[in-house]
Chains A and B, each alone.
Chain A
Amino acid sequence: MSLDPRPLVLQEEQPPRPAAPGKKWVKSVRVQNGIDTEVWEEVDIDSGSDGPTWGAREDLRLLNHDLRRIDGPEKVTGRAVFTHDVRLPGMVYAQVLRCPHPWAKIVRIDLAPAQGTPGVLAAVVLEGEEVKWLGRPIVAVAADTPEHAEDGVRAVVVEYDVQRFAVTSEQSQAPDAPKIAGNRDNVRVHETDGELAAAEAALAECDAVVEGTWRVPVQHHACLETHGVVVDYRGGDSATVYASTQGTFTVNNDAARELDLKGAQVTAVVEHMGGGFGGKFGLGLEGDAACKLSKQLGRPVHLLFDRASEFLAAGNRAGGVHVLQAGAKKTGELHAFVARVERHGGVGPGSNQRQPYIYRPAVSYAQVKSVLTNTDSSRAMRAPGHPQMSFAMEGLMDDLAYAIGMDPLEFRVRNVPPDRRADYERQLRLCADLIGWNSHPHRTAPDRSEGELKVGIGFALATWGGGGRPECKVEVRLLPDGSVEVYSGTQDLGTGTRTYVAAIVAEEFGLDLAQVTPHIGRSTYGAANASGGSTTTASLAPAVKHAAWNARKQLFEHVSTLIGVKPENLRCVGGRIQDVNDPDSNWIGFKDACAAVGGKGISAQGEWQRNLASSGVGGAQAAKVRVDTLTGEIEVLHMVGVQDCGLVMNRMATRSQLNGGMIQALSYGLFEERVIDPDLGLVLNANFEDYKIAGCKEIGLVQAVLDDGDNRRGVIGMAEPAVVPGQSAIANAIMNACGARLREMPLTSDKLLMALRGAKRG
């Protein structure tokens, strides 16, 4: 009997006003000035009575708070087992021979020298006909050590008939270019929106017209843990596949096919994984090879990419060229818009790069083409297409704002879709406050004055869906000793899934976070969607909540008979279950309640609940940079990101996502670019020395702010919008600082120096 016996105060007898259409008033308990207080709350009529709700934000004890990751200590101490770390008895190591040419026909493959290499146990041919991109796997070799596997790979003899290739967009569009996809053209028009003549006529009506060609390079996912699997099949009717994947359930069925087993006979395991960013779905060609080798040898096979392979054959973010022309009226209206977009997706078509991005011109025309090249196909990467569209569109927006002498922030507010204006405006103005825009001296024109060190500020917006889907099945078990276990096959990409899964259940039962044990990353647990499109949390969290709610209902039915209180009058608080009307006399400890249930315990299932998820997010970011006009150095001093995402599960982890998104965008903006020599066709920077990513010295103050102005009650994913606007805001800040508009990423010092020199000459 330790609970503080404070009185429950009913503040108002009657609701303050009649309920709005579709709403009703309910009494709910909030803590006000430290006292439990019953207040009237207006809620949707369909929520509340017959299913779980998240409850009022103020009432949440764990959710929407900062929660330390429960697997953090395991990760930072190295105890966490990633796929790379899996070691099994009798395990062998596999490596892959990759095609060294952008395009070649395979005349002959001789495995004998590899098979004769010390330590080599098996070699299989994966491709014997034709290869159209450098890096495609041709042969896989398994050996007793990784070193022997590499020796084996280098011993394989392949005779190639090297073909003429096109690795750049220019080569691919040359009149005599080789046709990469059979008889089809290398260039394909994917979509055309609007009337060109109308858009051109509208341009003529504008007070200012600007134009430019924006170029974005191919970016790599650059996951710290490379792609790969450990396939453990020693014969019989079961196998285990440990995979570094974004989808537990995208692996087992593919593996079953390769192993001639049924899907349920293969268990996929994703205990921890070191980053995916959209590039890790399915088993892949190399995973197929590992299955083949494991089946052949009857031993576990460890096949993880080396770093060069990760750059050559693990996908990428498509590059592109955006040729934009737009005009505005002096009033600040974005009036006319013409876009011609090229997507560079390698042997694939590349993903969505539609224009105009976010902003709504009165009249617009856009054509999107894809240009095939003999390079590794692009894959999904964190907000596919959005950062590319953003870089071009947001640059154009600033150029236009300056052309009509308007503050780019106000120009943005004026031209976002009207139904989203309130959110974007709130987010932009908060960014402006935090980054110091209101006292910045150059708000309507770039600072073109002489000077060595110059500071500028830029803005950009994001948009994303992030909603959930009915794909997850979750089980919550209460055991007689009071332990609470949650089971879901879902995977944690490093975003903190385990922590919020435990928190949702702990919240439901009034327990501490540590009292709930989450079990994830195994295909024998309940089904879960793959982590793509920021849909994990909005799909999983509602199902977890539903399972916890069902488990609590079952528990309350037992407790009801024990203490003689109706189930609907029970609640969980501070490790006990009590009568809401008489908390001091009628109660039972949570553990005792579980013990009373008996040996069978409680098992409850949960599925996705529409009312627990929402979708649709925006987000605004700002960057402040300092440029050195003597050296071209670009230093990002400060970035601010303001992000909405409905109900937040774990504020700390959500800010981490926003932080990580901003840093990844900074790195994309300033450094990242796949470099291919057009004549040799070779990738020149398939390593972390020459493929540069931002390090700690490149990252200034990064301020991640959750937009609490978003009062939606559902859960929404937000990892993707976080990565969209950063590089655009940085490019705009450079322009604002010194009047140099860099339209080609990465935004490096050499380009800035040459642009400044050009500006001086001009």
Chain B
Amino acid sequence: MMGSCQSGLEAPVSRELAGLIALSRSEVRRTAETPCIGCGRCVSACPWSLAPVEIYKALEHRRFAEAEEAGLAECTECGCCAYVCPARIPLAAGMRRGKSAAARG
């Protein structure tokens, strides 16, 4: 869930690498993002009991203080929120981008 994408097959494999996953195209098929309907699934899924949707919306509007207050720093980018989101909002990717954007200010 948290792995990073490789661009090609010429990537080094070191001893620390826990696993390598190859997914077929049908497994990673993506559906278009639709508006958030506030179902709260991301909130129930978050292992840190954050509200990913609120953090994501704050980040979208560049309200970094609000995102920090909602617990942006505590997010471990595990991706559970994006996994369950019926609107297919890239919540986890948004958190990652948001953290660096918030650090830049």
Asked if A and B are interacting partners, one says: no
Binding site for A on B (CB under 8 A): none
Q: Which residues of A contact B (CB under 8 A)?
A: none
